[in-house]
Amino acid sequence: MEKTDVLVIGGSAAGVVAATTGKTNYPEKEFMVIRKQSPVLVPCGIPYIFGSLKSMDKNIMPDSMLTNADIKLQIGEVASVDKENKICKTTAGLEIKWEKLVLATGSNPITPQWLKGANQENVFTISKEKDYLDNLQRCLPNFQKVVVIGGGFIGVEIADEINKLDKEVTVVEILPHVLGLAFDEEIAVKAQELLISRGVKIKTGAGVKEIMGDGKASGVLLNNGEKVEADAVILSMGYSPNTKLAQGAGLSVNRLGAIRVDEYMRTPDDPNIFAVGDCAEKRHFITRKVNNVMLASTGGAEARTAGMNLYHISSVKAFLGTIAIFSTAFGDRGFGAAGITEREALREGVDIITGAFEGIDRHPGTQPGTNKQFVKVIAARECGLILGGEVAGGPGTGELINLIGLAIQNKMNICSILTSQIGTHPLLTAPPTAYPFIKAAEVASRKFCHQ
Amino acid sequence: MEKTDVLVIGGSAAGVVAATTGKTNYPEKEFMVIRKQSPVLVPCGIPYIFGSLKSMDKNIMPDSMLTNADIKLQIGEVASVDKENKICKTTAGLEIKWEKLVLATGSNPITPQWLKGANQENVFTISKEKDYLDNLQRCLPNFQKVVVIGGGFIGVEIADEINKLDKEVTVVEILPHVLGLAFDEEIAVKAQELLISRGVKIKTGAGVKEIMGDGKASGVLLNNGEKVEADAVILSMGYSPNTKLAQGAGLSVNRLGAIRVDEYMRTPDDPNIFAVGDCAEKRHFITRKVNNVMLASTGGAEARTAGMNLYHISSVKAFLGTIAIFSTAFGDRGFGAAGITEREALREGVDIITGAFEGIDRHPGTQPGTNKQFVKVIAARECGLILGGEVAGGPGTGELINLIGLAIQNKMNICSILTSQIGTHPLLTAPPTAYPFIKAAEVASRKFCHQ
C-alpha cells in the first residue's frame, strides 16, 4: 500500500494548483497527485491547438510543476474512495492511504440525450482528453464545413481557430447572441460582429432539432426547419461535473451535480476531503445562488484556498463565491467580464446603476495598433458598491478585467475609482484624460449621487 | 471683463481633466480653460513623435474634449492673479473674473545652472511647447550622434525613439542604472539590457562635468574624464513646477517649489484656489514625505479630485498622496511600478517583506508573442499590507501595474491576493497555474506568516 499525507485526485489546473499551494504552505507534509492521463493538456489552451499552435505537443502542462515542488506524481485511475479508512483504490488495484484528500476530478462535455443524431461519426465534443483531441485533429483535414453547436466561449474560440484553417465554420446559438450568458447585449454584439468579420458564420436564436446523417453527420436541422450542411459537428453545449467517484464515496452533490463544499472547499460530509475546480459546487459572489460556472479563474482560486486551508483554517483565506471572471480574444481584440451583468442583476432583483464609456486603448489614437476600448461598470444603487464590469478592447483587456475583478472581490466603491491613480502610457493604455474604466465609473456615479 | 464661475489656467492633461470633471459634477456652473498654446501636445505622447508617430500633428490634444463638454476655451497667457478680487489679467490686457480658480500651470524642463555649456546651440530639453519641439524635430535629421543626459523615463523613451531613426544614441545616467529611481535594481537592469539590445548606448554611474563645444555642442565631458562625442545633446534632468503666477499671487510654495495644497487640492491660502498636476505639491502615499513626482497618473487623479470638490467637499473623494504609478514600454516589452520600492522602503525605515516571481504573459509559453513576465511585490511585515509593486512584462504590463496600484491605494492585504479570482486567457495573460502577481504574493506571504 502507498501512503501520502495529502492525495490530490486529478492533474489538470485545479489539481496542480491545490497540490503546489498545499506543499508551499505545508512543506513538511507529503503530497501526491494521481491522474489518469499522461500527459495532460493545458485546459484553456485547447481551442488554440487547432489554428494557432498547430501541434498538441505545444499545449502540454509540464510535470515539472509537480516534481520540482517535491510532489509525487502517480499515473492511474482511482476506482473508489473509502473515506472511513482514508484509502483510495485504483482500477489497477493499487491502494493509497491518505490524511487529506482533494478531489479535482473536473468535468465532462455534455452530449444531450434529447439530441437526435449526436452519436454519429464526425460528431465531436471538446473533451480535455489528449487521445480524443488527437483524433479530432487528425480528422479535421477531411472536413470543409464545420458546425459548432453552442456559442459560449469555448464554442466561439474553437470556431475562430478552425476558421483560421480556411474551413467554413458556422456557430449555432439558441440565445440572441453568442457569448450571451457572459456579457450584456452591447458587448456580446461587438464580439459577434468581430467573429463575423473574421469569416465565422453565426446563426443566433437558433435551437437545434437534430444532427442529420446516416451514421455519419451530414448537417444540422434547426428548430425553424433550416438545414445547415456539415462534414463535422462540434458540440459545445456545456460540461457536467465529474463526480462519480465522490458519489461512490457517499459525498453529497447539489442539484447541478457538483460536490458540496464550504468556504474552505471542504466537503460538509468529511472535513478531511476537499473538492476544487469544475467538480466542486459554485455559488455566485453576489446573488449567492448556486450556479455551474466552470472557469480557470474560479477553479484556480478554489484550489489555492484548499491548499492553504488543508491543515489549518484561516478566516482571511476563504473562497467567497465565484465572480465568474474570464477573458477571451480573437486576434488582437479582447473581451472580458467579471461579477454580475446588468441583465443578471435585473433578473435577480439587484437594484443597480450602470455606466459605460468607449475610448481607445493606446494614445494618442494615431499610435499604430490602437484599438477601441469599451468598459461597462455595474454598481449597487444604494451605496455604489462595484458589482460587475465588462470590457471590449485590445491586448490589455485581460489585465483590465482582472483590475475590475479585484475591485469587485474587495468590495470597493465607485467613489474609490473616481480618485484612483491610474498609470497610463502611449503604447500600453488608454490616455489619462479618458481612461474608460474611470469614465464609466463617473457615468455610473452621477446616477448614484443624483438619485 | 470676461466672467466665469470656474477658471482653469493651463490646458494640458491636468487642466483639461479638472475642467471636464468639474463641469460633469457642477453642470450648472460656467467653466473656462485659458491656455497659452494653441494647439497643445498630448504630454505622454511627446517622446513618440520622433520615432513612431513621425508627425507632431498626430500628437495633438483635441479641443473637442473641452468644447463638446460646453467648456469655454480661451487662448492667452495669464500675467497675474488677484485673489482678493478674484480676477486674472492676461498679458494682452484681458480681465477674467472667477468664483473658483484651478492652477494647472505644469512644469518646465530643468537646465542646471552648474552645467557648463548647456546654453550652446544643439542642446535641447524635452519641453512641452509645440514650437520648441517643432524646431527639435526639424533639426534632428542633421544629427547623427545624440547624447541624452538623464536616464529617467523621459530620457530613455526619447533615446529609444531617436534610436529608431538609425542614429547613434547614448544615454548618460549618474545612477548605477537607467530608471534607477522608479525601479529596484533587478527591474532596472532588465530595462537597461533591453535598451542596449535595441541599440541604445548607455553609460551609467556617469556624472556630467560639462557640455563641450564652441557655441555649438560637440560632446559631453563626464566626471571620470571620458568624452562622448555628440552632434546634439538632450537634457532630461527633471522638471521644476511652474509657479511664477502662484507666487505672484501670494500663494505659498513648498521647499521643492510646488504650490501647497490639501487633500482636496485646495491651496491653504485660499479655499477658492486649487492647484493640480506638476505645479502642485506632492506627498508620498506611504512615507508621507513631500516629493517631486510628476506623472499623468498623479496629475490626473489630482485633477479629478479638484473637479469633484470645487463647490462641495466629499470626504470619500480626497487625494491621499502619490503612489507614483507609471508604465513605459520599448517595443512590445512593458515596465511598470507603483507605490514604494524595496530600496525606498529600506531607506525610509519601512519594515517590509518582498516576493518576486518570473513567469510568462501568455500561455502555454509556445503561443506566438509570449514574453517573460516578472512581478515583484512589497508589503508591510507587520500586517501584509501591500505597499508596492513592479512589473517587467509584455503589452499587458500597463493594466497589470494598474491592478497592483489599485490594491495599494485601497489598502489591500496580500492575503486577499492569495484567494483572488484572476481571469486568464492563452492570448492575453499568464496561466492560471502561475500568475506572477499571485505567485509573488505567495512568496512574500510565507515571510509574513513564518516570521
Span B388-423, pLDDT tens digits: 999 999 999 999 999 999 999 999 999 999 999 999
Backbone angles phi, psi at B80, to 5 degrees: -155, 150
pLDDT grade, residue A155 (50/70/90)? very high
Of A329, A363, A407, the CB nearest to B428: A329
What integer is the mean pLDDT of A373-383? 97
Decide if pLDDT at B449 tops 90.
no
What is the structure's pLDDT at A56?
87
First to last CA, chain A: 68
pLDDT grade, residue A451 (50/70/90)? very low
Does the beta carbon of A426 lie under 8 angstroms from any beta carbon of chain B?
Answer: yes
- List of chain B residues whose C-beta atoms are within 8 Å of the C-beta of residue A409: 416, 420-421
* Separation in Å, CA of A144 to nearest CA in chain B: 26
Beta carbons of A316 and B442 less than 8 Å apart: no
- List of chain B residues whose C-beta atoms are within 8 Å of the C-beta of residue A425: 44, 326-329, 334, 398
What span, in angstroms and rounded, lies between the C-alpha atoms of B79 and B38?
Answer: 17
Does the beta carbon of B45 lie under 8 angstroms from any beta carbon of chain A?
Answer: yes
- Among residues B189, B197, B181, B109, the alpha carbon closest in space to that of B148 is found at B109
What is the structure's pLDDT at B54?
84
- pLDDT tens track for B21-31: 999 999 999 99
Of B300, B410, B428, the CB nearest to A398: B428
* Separation in Å, CA of A259 to nearest CA in chain B: 20
Of B13, B65, B325, the CB nearest to A421: B325
Fold that domain B326-449 belongs to in CATH: FAD/NAD(P)-binding domain (3.50.50)
- List of chain A residues whose C-beta atoms are within 8 Å of the C-beta of residue B399: 396, 398-400, 402-403, 428-429
Residues 275-314 in A contacting B (C-alpha not used; CB under 8 Å): 295-301, 304-305, 308, 314
What integer is the mean pLDDT of B61-89? 96
* Separation in Å, CA of A206 to nearest CA in chain B: 28
Relative to beta strand B100-103, strand B6-9 is: parallel
Q: Determine if the pTM surpasses 0.90.
A: yes
Beta carbons of A44 and B336 less than 8 Å apart: no
What is the structure's pLDDT at A119?
95
pLDDT grade, residue B451 (50/70/90)? very low
Does the beta carbon of B16 lie under 8 angstroms from any beta carbon of chain A?
Answer: yes
> Is the Cα dihedral A297, A302, A308, A314 positive or negative?
positive
Beta carbons of A48 and B367 less than 8 Å apart: yes
- List of chain A residues whose C-beta atoms are within 8 Å of the C-beta of residue B8: none
pLDDT grade, residue A53 (50/70/90)? confident
Q: What is the DSSP letter of B437?
A: H
The mean pLDDT value of chain A amounts to 96
What integer is the mean pLDDT of A123-127? 97
What span, in angstroms and rounded, lies between the C-alpha atoms of A71 and B264?
Answer: 54
* Separation in Å, CA of B267 to nearest CA in chain A: 18
Closest residue, chain A, to B420 (C-alpha): A301
User: Over pLDDT 70: what percentage of chain B?
Assistant: 99
pLDDT grade, residue B55 (50/70/90)? confident
Beta carbons of A419 and B59 less than 8 Å apart: no
pLDDT grade, residue A450 (50/70/90)? low
* Separation in Å, CA of A329 to nearest CA in chain B: 6
Measured from the Cβ of residue A449, the count of other Cβ atoms closer than 10 Å reads 14
Closest residue, chain A, to B52 (C-alpha): A367
- pLDDT tens track for B307-318: 999 999 999 999
What is the structure's pLDDT at B448?
77
Beta carbons of B301 and A421 less than 8 Å apart: yes
Decide if pLDDT at B450 tops 70.
no
Closest residue, chain A, to B13 (C-alpha): A433
User: Over pLDDT 70: what percentage of chain A?
Assistant: 99
Does the beta carbon of A69 lie under 8 angstroms from any beta carbon of chain B?
Answer: no
Decide if pLDDT at A227 tops 50.
yes
What is the structure's pLDDT at A449?
61
CATH dotted code for B2-108+240-309:
3.50.50.60
Question: Which residue in this structure is represented by grid cell 487623479?
Answer: B301
- Interface size A-B, in CB pairs within 8 Å, comes to 275
Domain range list for chain B: 2-108+240-309, 123-237, 326-449
Does the beta carbon of A389 lie under 8 angstroms from any beta carbon of chain B?
Answer: no
Does the beta carbon of B373 lie under 8 angstroms from any beta carbon of chain A?
Answer: no
Of B44, B314, B407, the CB nearest to A426: B44
What span, in angstroms and rounded, lies between the C-alpha atoms of B257 and B279?
Answer: 8
Does the beta carbon of B315 lie under 8 angstroms from any beta carbon of chain A?
Answer: no
Of B20, B300, B366, the CB nearest to A422: B300
- List of chain A residues whose C-beta atoms are within 8 Å of the C-beta of residue B432: 13, 17, 44, 296-297, 299-300
Beta carbons of B419 and A305 less than 8 Å apart: yes
Does the beta carbon of A400 lie under 8 angstroms from any beta carbon of chain B?
Answer: yes
ipTM of predicted complex? 0.95
Superfamily covering domain A123-237: FAD/NAD(P)-binding domain (3.50.50.60)
What integer is the mean pLDDT of A94-118? 97
- List of chain A residues whose C-beta atoms are within 8 Å of the C-beta of residue B402: 399-400, 403, 422-423, 429
Does the beta carbon of A194 lie under 8 angstroms from any beta carbon of chain B?
Answer: no
Q: Same fold for the domain at A2-108+240-309 and the one at A123-237?
A: yes
Does the beta carbon of A364 lie under 8 angstroms from any beta carbon of chain B?
Answer: yes
Mutation pick from A265, A428, A435 vs chain B, by most beta carbons of B within 10 Å, is A428
Confirm if B251 and B271 have CB atoms less than 8 A apart: no
Decide if pLDDT at A11 tops 80.
yes
Does the beta carbon of A51 lie under 8 angstroms from any beta carbon of chain B?
Answer: no
What is the structure's pLDDT at A55?
85
- pLDDT tens track for B109-149: 999 999 999 999 999 999 999 999 999 999 999 999 999 99
Characterize B390-412 residue by residue with b for buried, 16 or more Cβ atoms within 10 angstroms of its Cβ, and e for exposed: bbbbbbbbbbbbbbbbbbbbbeb
Does the beta carbon of B52 lie under 8 angstroms from any beta carbon of chain A?
Answer: yes
pLDDT grade, residue B163 (50/70/90)? very high
CATH dotted code for A334-449:
3.30.390.30
SS3 B119: coil
Does the beta carbon of A65 lie under 8 angstroms from any beta carbon of chain B?
Answer: yes
Does the beta carbon of A419 lie under 8 angstroms from any beta carbon of chain B?
Answer: yes
What integer is the mean pLDDT of B253-257? 97
